[in-house]
Amino acid sequence: MSTTTIIAIDGPAAAGKGTLAKRLAAELGFDYLDTGLIYRAVGMKVLDAGFDPADPARAGEAARDLEPADLQGPDLRTDEAAQAASKVASIPAVRDALLDFQRRFAATPPGGKGAVLDGRDIGTVVCPDAPIKLYVTASAETRAERRLKELQAKGIATTFDLVLAEMKERDERDSSRAVAPLKPADDAHLLDSSALDADQAFDVAIAFVRAKL
């Protein structure tokens, strides 16, 4: 039984999960794990090897062979990586292969104090017993606007319509898959950040977390 505190943060694409999770971890002295990055790395590993990320055998193998260096890939924040991630993420063998690593990180974070994990299934599957669960969301248009700004700041040429379409396709696939679909845990606290900037969302979240600790 773990004695560290686990904070589970889930929600759809570009809801502000990572930004919030990082700030909560920094504020509390906890370690942070971006689980989406792991799925992105598996997706890119399959693509880079010239295969289809939806191929269960190839994707399962890539997940089992994943190494820390794969998480440093330069292309992991692109829409291409996001789509590949969402495809490998529907494959049960991939999710199984990545589960142990995520659970170990949550139970024994490097700093020993606590862990904040963000993703799609942290509160429902990876850490169902986490004492603190947040489900962060915002309207699709708000989220697409946020992601567009991020991509443009990195010099990636795209449009609002393309980003919105990519995100909706991914949210639909993530919500409708048979294994570990995107959905709030029954005991998750909902945080709609549509009308909040990142500072305001953090203020709401840290107040909730402190009340629970």
Query: Under rule CB under 6 A, how many of the chain's residues touch ligand CDP?
Result: 29
Show the binding pattern over residues 71-110: x = contacts ligand CDP (CB under 6 A), - = does not: -----------x--xx--x---------------------
Q: Which two tokens stand for residue 85?
A: 């991630």
- Whether 171 and 120 have beta carbons less than 8 Å apart is answered as no
Q: Is 36 annotated as a binding residue?
A: no
Select the residue interacting with ligand CDP from 30, 31, 35, 151 (CB under 6 A): 35
Choices 46-54, 57-65, 191-199, 203-211; region in contact with ligand CDP by CB under 6 A: 191-199
Give residues with Cβ within 8 angstroms of 46, minimum separation 6: 52, 53, 55, 58, 59, 62, 84, 88
Give residues with Cβ within 8 angstroms of 142, minimum separation 6: 193, 194
Phi-psi region for residue 173, left (φ > 0), alpha (ψ -120 to 50) or beta?
alpha
Is residue 31 at the binding interface for ligand CDP, with CB under 6 A as the rule?
no
Which stretches of the chain bind ligand CDP, using CB under 6 A?
A: 11, 13-19, 35-36, 39-40, 82, 85-86, 89, 119-122, 146, 150, 170, 174, 193, 196-198, 201
